[in-house]
Amino acid sequence: MPQVSMTVNGKPASGEAEGRTLLSQFLRETLGLTGTHVGCDTSQCGACVVHVDGKAVKACTMFALEAEGADVATIEGQAAPDGTLNPIQQAFQDHHGLQCGFCTPGMVMSAAALLKENPKPSEAEIRDYLEGNLCRCTGYHNIVKAIMAASGQDVGALAAE
Amino acid sequence: MPKDHGIGASSKRREDVRFLTGDGNYTDDINVHGQAYVHFLRSDVAHGRLTSVDTSEAGKMPGVVRIFTGADFEGVGGLPCGWCVTDRHGEPMQEPGHPVLAQGKVRHVGDPIAAVVADTPEQARDAAEAIIADIEEFPAVVDMKAALKEGAPKVHDDLSSNLCYDWGFVEENREAVDKAIQEAAHVTTLELVNQRLVANPMEPRVAIGEYSRARDEHTLYTTSQNPHVIRLLMGAFVLGIPEHKLRVVAPDVGGGFGSKIFHYAEEAFCTFAAKAVNRPVKWTSSRSEAFMTDAHGRDHVTKIELALDADNNFTALRTDTHANMGAYLSTFAPSVPTWLHGTLMAGNYRTPLIYVNVKAVFTNTVPVDAYRGAGRPEATYQLERVIDKAARELGVDPIALRRQNFVTEFPYATPVAVEYDTGDYNATMDKLEEIADLKGFAARRKESEARGRLRGLGVNCYIEACGIAPSNLVGQLGARAGLYESATVRVNATGGLVVMTGSHSHGQGHETSFAQVVADMIGIDENMVDIVHGDTANTPMGMGTYGSRSIAVGGSAMVRATEKIIAKAKKIAAHLLEASDADIELKDGAFTVAGTDKSVAWGDVTLAAYVPHNYPLEDIEPGLEETAFYDPANFTYPAGAYACEVELDPETGKVTVERFAAADDFGNIINPMIVDGQVHGGIGQGIGQALLESCAYDENGQLLSASYMDYAMPRADDVPFYSVDHSCSTPCTHNPLGVKGCGEAGAIGSPPAVVNAVIDAMQSGGHKVDHIDMPVSPSRVWTAMNG
């Protein structure tokens, strides 16, 4: 079986992968990084979003072998080494942007990519960007709110709760 | 001022940290040393006879450990049904067998034919493709009414027909209802479909079976909302494993919405196979497989008639529903269209005479069972739609018509068996009118019209029966289980507590909200309380989480156990303080002799319980651990009023939800932030049902919507921000917390609001449309307006 090497969350990582092994599967099964979740088989749900060379990618849309030499970031690398949540993670907790937690890693990784491109997105821009991330628990309300808050916008004036 | 801790505080969820850092422990994250993997070969036809299953080539493929077929399960029990409905004539429902792997026939697309256990998932899948299953295909029955026709193909050859039961409720009222409808000043009739949905928790199901030959012990890791129920059903009815030899673990579970209540074939298979091959066996569902195997929801076809007198008072209600059971009876399927549906037909209104007829039908489709709301959304939808139609026919304001008919005095005994303990439906309607800014609607409509769009407003009420359920009552109604809940509170020597609950959290945040309750009762920091759930090895027998029951039933059990703890701790404190235990007060984590400044801290008492040097050993045992089981006296009755505003593009028929408001009465609230989130999520699913979602079959029983490419899940840009309020509170009268439950309200209350709004929008454009079925797709809207 071919060997593949990449950088994951700043550290070198390598392992064997079949030609058909997806990046999502490689991260979960070979590297044990089970924070990247698999919620569908048609690249629709977005639970497996990671960053590859700085861009948000659904890890189920790439073969592991295609990530040779790439710089991959996953949910496990988002908090500080002492465990402090990053501002997006913290905003998700503060604004109850997650319930069952299954879509959450993908949501956080997508949100991070969005805020890199667009530091102060509007509500409509956030909803549009999250088109590829499904959540069944939250009705999206608090996810959108958390991302607005993480970008430093005042969310106190949103629809009354 | 909002509270910052304890009951009523929006405490941040402690479980979030692990979910936000990738440190959750979902079932698919678990790998057991030496595990093999199973892949199921599933039927690709809806109905047929299995003439042969040839595994000879597949069995020789690399990595294959063993291939199982139906023959391997001939001496094994089938999947049991947990509820027996008695029909109109006093006869039990028809109850077909449900084998773990198909025997003789396949009955729906996805029915498992064979299972390959192999060293890797890829090897198992490759070998499954090499199995040759010969199926003599039969015509499929998909449409419920066609399935009941004379001569229709039978899903189960050993049953007399495809009718599971013909249920009448309340049967004694049948003639009186007919008469009242005949004599009414006005009768409004509506025929509608509550379409088949798929629950679609984002985590697909997973099962891992493990067996220790040395100990003769089984472990099942599974994505379940109720591990004890799975242990009981699978152990007692399928595999014959006594409960002390079977541990069921449901760790972090990624959403359920009902679909993870039920006992599924894959759980039994992995448990059985782990012993047969003497290796752990793991199954992870793909999403396509989930569409073919997770129990579906809803799928009712209904005719409803509402009778009114000359003053517009509701006088009678008659409904006639066909409810799809699918090919087999899922665990609680028979209860959904009957006791969870018929008993709610009074809604928020004083309708003196009600008759509900339900025909449950077998078809060659995936089994249908409870999905968020389960029977109550179906009741609410038909009732709130027919009331809007009646208001239109009578030329009266739909809100005024509702208010005129509200139940206003409590307790209120409905004509459909249940008794509402509290409520204030005018208060929630008043609150809705305020938060939805109904006064501003006319101006918003004008503004939409100026842009060439139609704008509609839909308002409705809902009531639900939650806190499921009094065991003696449901026993009389056919339940084969009790529906109490349990909790063990273990206090450690240094004062920290662990609460082991039979409830299960799969997104609801029990680890936070349950801890708030116990901490509040004792007056200590929430972080001193840990909540443990999801493992039969370390929690007392419990019935799990569904039917918005966790805080009302599980929370009540926890309160009872904590009360026992406090009572015992007071005795210890009295001894330490040399006072009478009747004089001891517990406040802010300290025990005080009433009227004095003599006091002892919580931690001193807990330490004394485990280091009983100075201790009333003659009166009480050392230690501080108590268990309580709580069986509710009644259901709880959350209720509320919802408003939806839609904008409709007459050029395309596209509907967008512009505003959504919900005013709910959940009784007392433990964590308002979590409650808001539950309502948001329910509304999101309700908007999904109203506008987008549909599980579709073709006439041959082929499942057309078996992936997210074909099944339209609501996305972030399909929904607005919601305005939700639960300040109207009439606390439940019969549980210690005064709580009612909030998990399903949003999904129950929202679909009629959306559809009523769409009809209002079409009417405002001069289109005399008074019905449209869900999902209200652009093509349906355009056709309704232009067809």
* Complex ipTM: 0.98
CATH of the domain at B359: 3.30.365.10
Mean pLDDT of B280-308: 98
Q: How far is B288 from chain A (nearest CA, A)?
A: 7
Q: How far is A55 from chain B (nearest CA, A)?
A: 19
The answer to whether residues B283 and B312 belong to one domain is no
Taking contacts as CB-CB distances below 8 angstroms, the residues of chain A near B691 are: none
Q: How far is A110 from chain B (nearest CA, A)?
A: 13
* Res. A161 pLDDT band, cuts 50 70 90: very low
pLDDT, one tens digit per residue, over A4-48 is 999 999 999 999 999 999 999 999 999 999 999 999 999 999 999
Mean pLDDT of B303-322: 98
A with B: how many residue pairs have Cβ under 8 Å apart?
201
The answer to whether residues B454 and B387 belong to one domain is yes
Does the residue B686 lie in any domain? yes
H or E segment to which residue B393 belongs: helix B376-394
The answer to whether residues B211 and B111 belong to one domain is yes
pLDDT, one tens digit per residue, over B660-674 is 999 999 999 999 999
The answer to whether residues B647 and B778 belong to one domain is yes
| Angle of the B425-435 helix axis to the B398-405 helix axis, nearest 10 | 160
Contact A136/B707, CB-based, under 8 Å? no
The answer to whether residues B227 and B285 belong to one domain is yes
Nearest to B29 among A34, A92, A98 (CB): A34
Q: How far is A1 from chain B (nearest CA, A)?
A: 14
CA-closest candidate to residue B511, choices B472, B554, B542: B554
Contact A138/B681, CB-based, under 8 Å? yes
The answer to whether residues B617 and B648 belong to one domain is no
Does the residue B8 lie in any domain? no
Tell whether A78 is within 8 A of chain B (Cβ).
Answer: yes
Nearest to A41 among B288, B676, B713 (CB): B288
Residues B777 and B771: their CA atoms lie apart, in Å, by 13
Tell whether B179 is within 8 A of chain A (Cβ).
Answer: no
DSSP 8-class letter at B104: S
3-state helix, strand, coil in chain A (%, to 5): 35, 15, 45
Does the residue B101 lie in any domain? yes
Nearest to B12 among A18, A93, A143 (CB): A93
Q: What's the pTM?
A: 0.97
pLDDT, one tens digit per residue, over B96-147 is 999 999 999 999 999 999 999 999 999 999 999 999 999 999 999 999 999 9
Mean pLDDT of B256-267: 98
Interface of A with B in 106-145 (CB under 8 A): 108, 123-124, 126-128, 130-131, 133-145
The answer to whether residues B331 and B431 belong to one domain is yes
Does the residue B159 lie in any domain? no
| Angle of the A141-150 helix axis to the A87-94 helix axis, nearest 10 | 140
Taking contacts as CB-CB distances below 8 angstroms, the residues of chain A near B509 are: 99
The answer to whether residues B774 and B656 belong to one domain is yes
pLDDT of res. B2:
73
3-state helix, strand, coil in chain B (%, to 5): 30, 25, 45
| Angle of the A141-150 helix axis to the A104-117 helix axis, nearest 10 | 40
Does the residue B610 lie in any domain? yes
Map residue A123 onto helix, strand or coil: helix
- Domain count along chain B: 3
User: Domain range holding B65?
Assistant: 27-138+202-255+260-293
Residue pointed to by tokens 């026709």: B149
Does the residue B708 lie in any domain? yes
Share of chain B above pLDDT 90, in %: 99
Pairing of strands B599-601, B590-593: antiparallel
Residue ranges and CATH numbers for the domains of chain A are: 3-77 (3.10.20.30), 87-150 (1.10.150.120)
Nearest to A137 among B287, B681, B722 (CB): B681
Whether residue B3 is predicted with pLDDT greater than 90 in this model: the reply is no
Q: How far is B48 from chain A (nearest CA, A)?
A: 28
Q: How far is A160 from chain B (nearest CA, A)?
A: 5
H or E segment to which residue B220 belongs: strand B217-222
The answer to whether residues B463 and B318 belong to one domain is yes
pLDDT of res. A160:
47
Whether residue B309 is predicted with pLDDT greater than 90 in this model: the reply is yes
Contact B20/A98, CB-based, under 8 Å? yes
Tell whether B2 is within 8 A of chain A (Cβ).
Answer: no
Q: What is the 3-state secondary structure (H, E, C) of B125-166?
A: HHHHHCCEEEEEECCCCCCHHHHCCCCCCCCCCCCCCCEEEE
* Res. B787 pLDDT band, cuts 50 70 90: confident
Whether residue B602 is predicted with pLDDT greater than 90 in this model: the reply is yes
Does the residue B478 lie in any domain? no
Interface of B with A in 476-505 (CB under 8 A): none
The answer to whether residues B770 and B682 belong to one domain is yes
Taking contacts as CB-CB distances below 8 angstroms, the residues of chain B near A39 are: 202-204, 254, 287
CATH of the domain at B225: 3.90.1170.50
Contact A44/B684, CB-based, under 8 Å? no
Does the residue B457 lie in any domain? yes
Whether residue B623 is predicted with pLDDT greater than 50 in this model: the reply is yes
Give phi and psi for B758, each to the nearest 5. -65, -45
The answer to whether residues B488 and B463 belong to one domain is no
Whether residue B590 is predicted with pLDDT greater than 90 in this model: the reply is yes
CA-closest candidate to residue B534, choices B80, B266, B231, B270: B231
Taking contacts as CB-CB distances below 8 angstroms, the residues of chain A near B677 are: 96, 99, 137-138, 141-142
* Structural contact between residues B94 and B165, judged by C-beta atoms closer than 8 angstroms: yes
Tell whether A66 is within 8 A of chain B (Cβ).
Answer: no
Tell whether A33 is within 8 A of chain B (Cβ).
Answer: yes
pLDDT, one tens digit per residue, over A102-126 is 999 999 999 999 999 999 999 999 9
pLDDT of res. A154:
92
Contact A142/B708, CB-based, under 8 Å? no
Mean pLDDT of B478-507: 96
Whether residue A51 is predicted with pLDDT greater than 50 in this model: the reply is yes
For residue B434, the chain A residue with the least C-alpha distance is: A160
Contact A140/B716, CB-based, under 8 Å? yes
pLDDT of res. B1:
62
Mean pLDDT of B445-456: 98
Whether residue B704 is predicted with pLDDT greater than 90 in this model: the reply is yes
Tell whether A59 is within 8 A of chain B (Cβ).
Answer: no
The answer to whether residues B271 and B321 belong to one domain is no
pLDDT of res. B259:
98
Interface of B with A in 112-131 (CB under 8 A): 122
